[in-house]
Structure 1
């Protein structure tokens, strides 16, 4: 197996454009891979909603140094026989028995199977697949503000247009992110920006497949993508190993990572003003649990898809 890595120079900068949060549950899916490059252990999530609703829940997870974590994954892959090259693909062509990739430095590589894990503006997708994912543009700021080291804060408001503002711990202090242009920029040490791709449903075309941001697999409710992309990669690798890439095309849409509830809920949230956001969360104002779940069901059918997406997202979205 050959892996082309195009970000040698800007590897850290690119991969730090992320909340870098992963749940403990993620590593049950990714076994035998274990947590690495952990910077903070997360124990709480605090949600701030219109109407002064604040919901605090236990959250088992971590903030990782994503570049160091990915380097560890690459190291493990090399130990298992993966060959890596630093090069930027500039052209892809279909061959009778596979694909040819030409790089910016003039080299050519060919293979029977082609996996596009080349980001939201994927060359593989643009060359071999129709259309593309929807994009939610977000920006993140690294600040020297003090932060609770074990807590993630989420702020919901109509101005985030279906998204939210997040405040997570960072070694320099705090990372603050939100839908681009929704808030004033804080005083920052570093500014980061990127699109969050979601809502694309074609994973396989012949012997080519897409994973991660290239496949628009980010969760539009949680904005999570690390775990999701890695699980998709594991599914695709197993399908290729079996010589049946179509298995990935069948298994991914059936997984809880790809539930259509996420996009439906996000589209619903985009149209909500603060009064409706408050009405939707009102049954949970004293916290999540069995009684609040019953109250939510009695709240009517209008928000049931939203509640389903929240429940799935909490379990599978980070």
Structure 2
């Protein structure tokens, strides 16, 4: 049975969904959600996990029912990593398997860097690039501009943020419900049930908004698209100005990694529809200076290059690409996803 509860850690009062294990196998799994979401997205996966796994899905700071504490973007993803390591302390878990979806994939890579001894394995589910979101090019994440223009809080659609803040439950274009239907999953192959959609929309609308939360503040830039990262909030925390996870490849050795993604993902992609450079290339954002100055970010290529370096350093990295699947493989292809995850956990 899945039980919601509040856990008081040394850093944060953290709301979790917990699925206890049957028996004493000692297998423990921490599930970390992505941006504009929450632990509720993992409800069905928690139900489906093997009975001998003790699983916990927290709401990250800034999301769900967890305590609202601001995010210091200059630390990259470390506020969340530190929160989760403190949660492990409160649970009495010395080590765990870690699963991270989208932004959560970056958070668990950061946790592996911060405390490698506490990470038994990693499962990246449509994980973000090791160089964050926006403003870089090439497999090694070279910045497009010295001030990292094209990333950070100013790149997020202000109308969408306002809709989240207002608790908008409409199906108007650009509303949270519309974004959920069109981008969180591949609408050509997957339609949520009404119950799923309402639960997931509730989680999206639980996102705290503002300069300290989502999307964060911004700095003006002389470089297209005229915004650079600020120092606070979510989108700045995963700006390449503050986020660089390339050291993961140099752990000795890196923990084993399963990477599962869909080939129809339009959020984390080499042609992401949420990257202003890609939107500029498509003519959707005016003034784009061209691919020689501001190329779209090759997010998938960047993560693949990092994992290849990790494997060359003794790590074990497996990539699984699910056809027709969008940004939420564990939701859109639950059978295939669970089989891959179970195999990974059984062998690590």
State TM-score, norm by structure 1: 0.30
